[in-house]
Amino acid sequence: MKFADGPETSATIVIDAAAESIWPVVIDPATSPKFSDELQRAEWGDHPTGAPGVGSILIGHNERAEMGAWTTQSTITQFEPHRCFEWTVSDVDNPVSVWRFDLTEVADGCQLSYHVHLGPGPSGLTKAIATMPDIEEQVIEGRLMMLHRNMVSVLEGIRDIVMSNPKNDPLMAIDQSAVDQFWTRFTEANAHHRDTPYAEAFQFGDHRALANKLLDLIVDGPKRATTESVAALEDDGGKLPAVGDLWVACDGSGTPRAIIESTDVRVGPLSSVDEQFAWDEGEGDRSRADWLRIHTACFTRSHDRIGVEMHADIAVIFERFELVYAE
C-alpha cells in the first residue's frame, strides 16, 4: 500500500455492557494513555460550546524511543453520544490522521470499533517515506502494525474499566440446586465429610469478571488467601469464617466450581497486612503495595454501597484456606 492510497487500520471488541456505560470511558482523555505505549498523556483544550462536542480541541502528548516526543492538536469532527467519537489531527482540511470510535448495540452487549485513517497531510510518517522511498510499503506496514497493537490494547483496557464497575457486570444469583448437587458429588468422593455441612455458598469480589478471575486463581493458580471487609460482610448478612469451615465457591454466573477449607482467620486493620499474606493472596504482582492498591479500590466500592466511611484502618478479615475440591 502507498501513502496516496490512504492507509488505515481498525480493531473491534464486544463489551457486555450498554453503550451508555462505555461512552464516558471512551471520551475520557485519560483513558487511552493508560494502555498505549505511544500516547503518554491527553487533555481537553477549548470547548466552543462549553462541553465536549464537535469543534472541541484535544491535545495529545506522544513519545516513542525511535521517533522522539511530539504533541498533537486535534479537533473533534464527529460527536454523537453513545454512538460515535471522531477527532482529526492537525488541519481538518489536510489532516495528519483521522481517528474514530463507533459504538453499536449487538446481541451480546455493545460492539466498540476503533479506526484510524492516515493522511493525506504531512507527518512523521511522510518524512520517513521521503527518506526511504524505495521501501514505502514496508514503512507504512510497520507503522500500521504499531498503531493496531495499541488500538487493541486500548479497546481491551476500555473493556476492563467498564467491566470493573459492578453496575455493568453484576454477580448473578447462586444456583442453589447446582450447589447442592456439587456438594453431594464432593461428599461422595470424600466420605469423611458426608455428615459435614458447608458453611456457605459464596462468590468472590463484587462483579462477574472479578469473581471469575479470583476463582481461576484458586483452581489453577496460587491464591490461598482472601480478605473481606467486616462492615460489608455484616451488611450482607454473611458468616464470619472459622478454622475448619468448608465453603462452596461459585463463579460470577452463580455456578459452583470449588470447595475451600479455612485454615487461619484473623481480624485486624486493613493496613496491618504483611508481605507474606499479600503474596499468598496471589493477586496483581503479589506485593504488599499492590495488595493495598487492589483492596483499597475494592473496599471503597463496597463501603460506598453500604454508606460506611472508608479509611486505611477499616476492620477486615484475613483468611487463609486450602483448595479441597474443584471441578
Give yes or no: residues 113 and 254 share one domain. no
Quote the number of domains for the chain: 2
Mean pLDDT of the residues in the chain = 95
Give yes or no: residues 293 and 322 share one domain. yes
Show the domain range for 205. 176-326
pLDDT digits (tens, 9 = 90+) for 251-261: 999 999 999 99
Angle in degrees, CA 20, 21, 25, rounded to 5: 110
Compute the average pLDDT of residues 276-303. Answer: 93
SS3 string, 295-312, reads: HHHHHHHHHHHHCCCCCC
Give yes or no: residues 26 and 152 share one domain. yes
pLDDT at 166 over 90: no
Higher-confidence position of 163 and 40: 40
**pLDDT value of residue 151:** 97
Give yes or no: residues 109 and 189 share one domain. no
pLDDT digits (tens, 9 = 90+) for 183-222: 999 999 999 999 999 999 999 998 888 899 999 999 998 9
Q: What is the CB neighbour count within 10 angstroms for residue 67? A: 14
Task: Look at residues 129, 163, 197 and tell me which one is the last residue of a structural domain.
Answer: 163
Task: Look at residues 163, 192, 217 and tell me which one is the last residue of a structural domain.
Answer: 163
Q: What's the pTM value of the predicted model, to 2 decimals? A: 0.67
138, 144, 149, 154 alpha-carbon torsion, rounded to 10° = 170
Give yes or no: residues 8 and 98 share one domain. yes
* Residue 314 one-letter amino acid: I
Is 168 part of a structural domain of the chain? no
Is 169 part of a structural domain of the chain? no
Is 47 part of a structural domain of the chain? yes
pLDDT digits (tens, 9 = 90+) for 106-141: 988 899 999 999 999 999 999 999 999 999 999 999
Is 293 part of a structural domain of the chain? yes
**pLDDT value of residue 49:** 85
Give yes or no: residues 141 and 282 share one domain. no
Is 218 part of a structural domain of the chain? yes
Give yes or no: residues 145 and 234 share one domain. no
DSSP state of 276: H
HSE value, Cβ hemisphere, 13 Å, CA-based, for 274: 3
Q: How confident is the model at residue 165 (pLDDT cuts 50, 70, 90)?
A: confident
Give yes or no: residues 152 and 184 share one domain. no
- Asked if residues 200 and 249 have their Cβ atoms less than 8 Å apart, the reply is no
Give yes or no: residues 153 and 182 share one domain. no
Task: CATH number of the domain at 205, please.
Answer: 3.10.400.10
pLDDT at 244 over 90: yes
Give yes or no: residues 40 and 189 share one domain. no
Is 170 part of a structural domain of the chain? no
Bridge-based pairing state of the strands 109-118 and 8-15? antiparallel
Task: CATH number of the domain at 21, please.
Answer: 3.30.530.20
**pLDDT value of residue 126:** 94
- Asked if residues 55 and 76 have their Cβ atoms less than 8 Å apart, the reply is yes
Give yes or no: residues 226 and 254 share one domain. yes
Is 171 part of a structural domain of the chain? no
**pLDDT value of residue 169:** 84
**pLDDT value of residue 321:** 98
**pLDDT value of residue 149:** 97
Task: Look at residues 137, 163, 189 and tell me which one is the last residue of a structural domain.
Answer: 163
Is 185 part of a structural domain of the chain? yes
Give yes or no: residues 269 and 139 share one domain. no
- Listed as own residue / partner, the contacts of 70-76 with beta carbons closer than 8 Å and 24 or more positions apart are 70/124, 72/96, 73/45, 74/99, 76/52
